[in-house]
């Protein structure tokens, strides 16, 4: 009798088998694909040719060899993450992989083929031994990058994390060979103006992320957005000294009329006109993140009046913005689903009240280190934002009454994170637990008045709880934890006393 695998092989052509593997990847991820590849040589060959995504470690002395091995074995890759934050678990795995490739899969243990893909976080001890202070040496260079883009001709998404040894030659290679590239993320390296402009000319990019890149100026970014003005949909720029100024923001607003996602972090923006240009020019904007910008109320008033499609807004350390800004956002951006406010010194309860009145679709709210906000702000959210799914509060001077409304109205709430809220006690958690019975994630950090009674209420009411994180709760004993353990779906519990 023919084996089961033989019957399947006889019935399925390669293209249909490849489609099966793509669906396996979508449902289960890399581990399931690896299992499929071990069934037989045919499955292994088809899986290699059809694999679409890989996260590849480029730490240590074998970075180019690892990338070369991956490119040779998986020519169908479309999404590649070259990560400096990982390292090869087996010290000689790159050499073993090269040997395996030369000799053929039949003559080697098939597990050797996977060793170069097995990665783990570099331990502190290993970092100290290497004398690297947490930054691994890497031999990943232009040669490895060029081999990747030559071997994987269908690249659509590429991420380079900590690419210190990649020069303009490597970026030009991407521009010349990756015509289908749509998304590019560059973190921690050197990007000169000419290199970025060449990328804009060679690749039809719709997404660009620049984080911690050096040598780039606003001149290069302005030229980039001019060239890619029609295709650019998402732009994320952070920790790039001198790259984001009012001139680059003005160019974004002038040329990128199809932009939907914008994230900017810069201490070099001290004028409103750049963000006003963005507001007037990027009216399809759906997600906006602003960090450390020295803009005032006029900038956010322009966003509120022009960007009615805005769904996600994050404001971090905008110390010149007051309630006027949030009033305008609440009046104009009624599709808002997520609002994050961090380290803002002028926003008060009044602005949160306006948001709760007008933004009925709000699903996620985070308020972090806004010291002049009090319980009234949370009372408004709890009473009016009945679609709320996630709530994060950190370092707020609020009391238990702030949570009454969540228990009475926010029945859909699934995730709650409370940190450094010193005035709240067991009563606050009980309000949430008794009303929000669909709660799945709960994190309580450094709230000293919370103890066993809170967890008793959670255990009795929140039967859908999946994840629980508790830290710095001095009044916590085994009684409350034992009750929570009865939640049958609990998958992750992290408890640290201090």
Nearest Cα neighbor of 367 from 354, 357, 381 is: 381
**Using CA atoms in the order 187, 191, 194, 195, what is the torsion angle rounded to 10 degrees?**
-50
Topology of domain 403-498, per CATH? 3.80.10
pLDDT beneath 50, residues of the chain:
1-2, 87-136
Q: What is the pTM of this model?
A: 0.84
Cβ neighbors of 343 (< 8 A, separation 6 or more) are: 316, 317, 368, 369, 370
Q: What is the pLDDT, as a whole number, of residue 35?
A: 83
Q: For 267-316, write each residue's pLDDT tens digit.
A: 889 899 999 999 999 999 999 999 999 999 999 999 999 999 999 999 99
β 53-57/364-368 pair status: unpaired
Longest dimension (CA), the chain: 78
| Kind of pairing between the strands at 87-88 and 119-120 | antiparallel
Helix ranges (H only) for 452-496 are: 452-461, 478-484
Q: Half-sphere exposure of 254 toward its Cβ, with a 13 Å CA cutoff?
A: 14
**Within 13 A of 175's CA, how many CA atoms are on the CB side?**
15
Cβ-contact 371, 397 below 8 angstroms: yes
| Residue matched to tokens 């808002």 | 336
d(Cα 178, Cα 203) in Å, to the nearest integer? 6
Of residues 324, 322, 275, 323, the one with CA closest to residue 303: 275
Q: Show me where the domains of the chain are located.
A: 1-51, 403-498
Distance between CA atoms of residues 228 and 256, nearest Å: 8
CA 470 to chain centre: 23
Within 8 A by CB and 6+ apart from 265, the residues are 237, 238, 239, 244, 289, 291, 292, 316
Tokens 């170069």 found at: 116
- Which tens digits make up the pLDDT trace of 30-68? 778 788 888 888 888 888 888 888 899 888 788 899 999
Q: Which of 123, 125, 180 is nearest to 157 (CA)?
A: 180
Q: Per DSSP, what are the bridge partners of residue 234?
A: 207, 261
Euclidean distance between CA atoms 378 and 456, whole angstroms: 24
Instruction: Give the list of residues 6+ apart from residue 414 with CB closer than 8 angstroms, or none.
Output: 389, 390, 436, 438, 439, 440, 441
Please give the Cα distance from 182 to 281 (Å, whole number): 22
DSSP 152-174: -TT--EEEEEEETT--HHHHHHH
pLDDT at residue 29, as a whole number = 67
DSSP state, 121?
Answer: P
Any idea of the CA torsion for 355, 356, 358, 364, to the nearest 10 degrees?
Answer: 80
Q: What is the pLDDT of residue 386?
A: 94
- Taking the C-alpha atoms of residue 338 and residue 363, their distance in angstroms, rounded to an integer, is 6
SS3 category, 318? coil
Q: At what angle do helices 218-227 and 246-255 cross, to 10 degrees?
A: 0
In whole angstroms, give the CA distance from residue 400 to residue 476. Answer: 18
Give the burial string for 51-60 (b: 16+ CB within 10 Å, else e): bbebbbbbbb
Q: CA 254, CA 219: separation in Å to the nearest integer?
A: 15
Check if the beta carbon of residue 95 is closer than 8 Å to that of residue 81.
no
């Amino acid at each position: 009798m023919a084996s089961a695998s033989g019957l399947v092989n006889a019935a399925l052509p390669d293209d249909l088998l490849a489609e099966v593997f793509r669906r396996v990847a979508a449902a289960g991820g890399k581990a399931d694909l690896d299992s499929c590849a071990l069934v037989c040589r045919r499955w292994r060959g088809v899986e290699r040719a059809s694999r679409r995504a890989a996260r590849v470690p480029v730490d240590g002395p074998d970075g180019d060899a690892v990338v070369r091995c991956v490119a040779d074995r998986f020519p169908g890759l479309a999404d590649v993450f070259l990560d400096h934050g990982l390292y090869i678990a087996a010290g000689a795995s790159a050499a073993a992989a090269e040997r395996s490739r030369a000799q053929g899969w039949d003559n080697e243990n098939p597990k050797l083929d996977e060793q170069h893909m097995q990665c783990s976080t570099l331990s502190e001890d290993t970092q100290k031994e290497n004398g690297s202070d947490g930054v691994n040496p890497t031999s990943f260079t232009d040669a490895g990058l060029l081999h990747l883009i030559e071997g994987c001709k269908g690249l659509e998404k590429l991420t380079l994390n900590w690419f210190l040894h990649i020069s303009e030659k490597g970026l030009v290679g991407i521009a010349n060979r990756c015509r289908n590239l749509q998304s590019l993320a560059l973190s921690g390296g050197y990007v000169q103006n000419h290199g970025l402009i060449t990328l804009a000319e060679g690749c039809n990019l719709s997404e660009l992320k620049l984080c911690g890149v050096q040598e780039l100026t606003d001149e290069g970014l302005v030229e980039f957005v001019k060239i890619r003005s029609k295709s650019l949909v998402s732009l994320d720029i952070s920790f790039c000294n001198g790259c984001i100024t009012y001139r680059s923001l003005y160019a974004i607003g002038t040329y990128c009329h199809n932009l939907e996602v914008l994230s900017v972090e810069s201490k070099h923006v001290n004028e409103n006109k750049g963000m006003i240009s963005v507001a007037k020019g990027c009216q399809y904007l759906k997600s906006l993140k602003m960090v450390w910008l020295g803009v005032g109320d006029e900038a956010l008033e322009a966003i509120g009046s022009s960007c009615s499609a805005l769904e996600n807004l994050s404001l971090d350390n905008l110390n010149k913005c007051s309630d006027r800004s949030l009033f305008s956002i609440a009046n104009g951006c009624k599709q808002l689903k997520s609002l994050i406010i961090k380290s803002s010194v002028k926003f008060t309860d009044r602005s949160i009240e306006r948001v709760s009145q007008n933004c009925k679709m709000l699903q996620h709210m985070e308020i972090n280190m806004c010291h002049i906000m009090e319980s009234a702000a949370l009372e408004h959210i709890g009473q009016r934002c009945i679609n709320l799914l996630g709530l994060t509060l950190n370092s707020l001077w609020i009391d238990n009454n702030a949570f009454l409304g969540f228990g009475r109205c926010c029945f859909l709430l699934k995730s709650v994170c409370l940190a450094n809220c010193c005035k709240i006690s067991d009563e606050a958690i009980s309000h949430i637990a008794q009303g929000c019975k669909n709660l799945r994630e709960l994190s309580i950090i450094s709230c000293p008045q919370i103890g066993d009674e809170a967890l008793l209420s959670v255990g009795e009411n929140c039967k859908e709880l999946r994840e629980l994180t508790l830290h710095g709760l001095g009044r916590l004993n085994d009684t409350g934890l034992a009750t929570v353990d009865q939640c049958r779906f609990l998958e992750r519990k992290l408890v640290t006393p201090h």
